[in-house]
Amino acid sequence: MGEQELHVVVGAGGVTGRLVVRHLLAAGCRVRAVTRDGRPVGASRAERVAVDAADPVALTAAARGAVAIHHCAMPPIGRWRRDFPPLTDAIIAAGEATGARVVYADDTWMYGRVTGPMTPDLPSRPVSRHGVLRAWLAERFEHAAAAGRIRLSIVRAGELYGPGVHSMIAGTVFGAIRRGRTARWFGTPDLPITPTYIDDFARTIATVGCRDRATSRIWHVPHPAATTGRELVAVAATQAGRSAAVAAITRRQLRVLGALVPLARDGASLVYQFEQPFVVDGTATAEAFGITPTPYVQGVRAVLAASPAASQ
């Protein structure tokens, strides 16, 4: 990776951003950690700056001299439609003004319903309102790259897990097992899935930001061979010395609960991912950059070893 090159991490206070900062520092890079309030990001060698990343002028000033802007900002899901568009435009403006590569931490919701492994060349066919938004945001970045305004790397992950992660499997699987309760799985627990370990996501973002030379390209995080929800629960239960019982959470149950709990409404719109193969193919990324994914046993061990407050 590029020694002493400056990398700017937007959203450096989040779970992904903090890990990206660490990987960049470990590679010998200079890092400027951008948060709204200049908070500590768990790395004393990172330069901390307080910036509203949706302000293109302020963000451009923060990104001066950088070779890459790593976009790891993640507003609460209820504010996505309000916060993501101006944030996207500001990051494009900063990338254009400084010449820094934009590295966008993305998910796979824009692919919609699939029947096999998700590869980077799949078209966007979203089936949920969140998927439509994610598709639109990615297209904004890609259009800017096609127009020659920025150089772009999009890094896509599947369903995240790991210490500090809030996801559709964090509390219902790992949190439940830690408390000695039955694990609950959205959709069908016997379909193939490649959950993304959070540190593999961050490591891929950092590596791509340092080594990608394409004008515009989508990279998928490398994963171990596909597992299933039931197998993942068994791994976690064995390590915790608990029962490996798992119960399915159906879309109908979520819709009923969603009448009272907004988060359940979001879950109901996304549970389709767990009713089909949810396999992210990161083979091209692994081959291009020599990234070896974390085995599920090791990732699950890290989740269970983390404090409960950090992993629910």
Greater confidence (160 vs 4) lies with: 160
User: pTM of the entire structure?
Assistant: 0.94
Who's near 267: CB < 8 A, 6+ residues apart? 168, 186, 249, 254, 258
Percent of all residues in the chain with a pLDDT value above 90, rounded to a whole number: 84
- Within a 13 Å sphere around the CA of 298, how many CA atoms are in the beta-carbon half? 11
- Residue 260: per-residue pLDDT: 42
Judge contact between 219 and 285, C-beta under 8 A.
yes
From the list 172, 171, 167, 166, the residue with the least C-alpha distance to 185 is 172
pLDDT in tens, 179-238: 999 999 999 999 999 999 999 999 999 999 999 999 999 999 999 999 999 999 999 999
Domains of the chain, CATH where assigned: 6-161+196-224+280-294 (3.40.50.720)
Q: How far apart are CA 286 and CA 292, in angstroms?
A: 7
Q: How far apart are CA 25 and CA 34, in angstroms?
A: 15
pLDDT in tens, 123-171: 999 999 999 999 999 999 999 999 999 999 999 999 999 999 988 888 8
What are residue 248's phi and psi, to 5 degrees? -85, 140
Residue labelled with tokens 């989040």 = 14
The SS3 assignment for 212 reads coil
Label residue 253 by pLDDT band (50, 70, 90).
confident
The SS3 assignment for 53 reads coil
- Residue 251: per-residue pLDDT: 74
Taking the chain, what is the end-to-end CA distance rounded to the nearest angstrom?
34
Q: Determine the average pLDDT of the residues in 87-97.
A: 98
Look at strands 101-106 and 68-71 and give their pairing.
Answer: parallel
Element (DSSP H or E) covering residue 35: strand 30-35
What are residue 174's phi and psi, to 5 degrees? -70, -40
- Torsion angle of C-alpha atoms 16, 18, 19, 24, degrees rounded to 10: 120
The DSSP call for residue 171 is I
The SS3 assignment for 306 reads coil
CA triplet 18, 11, 185: central angle to 5 degrees? 75
Whether pLDDT at 310 is above 90 = no
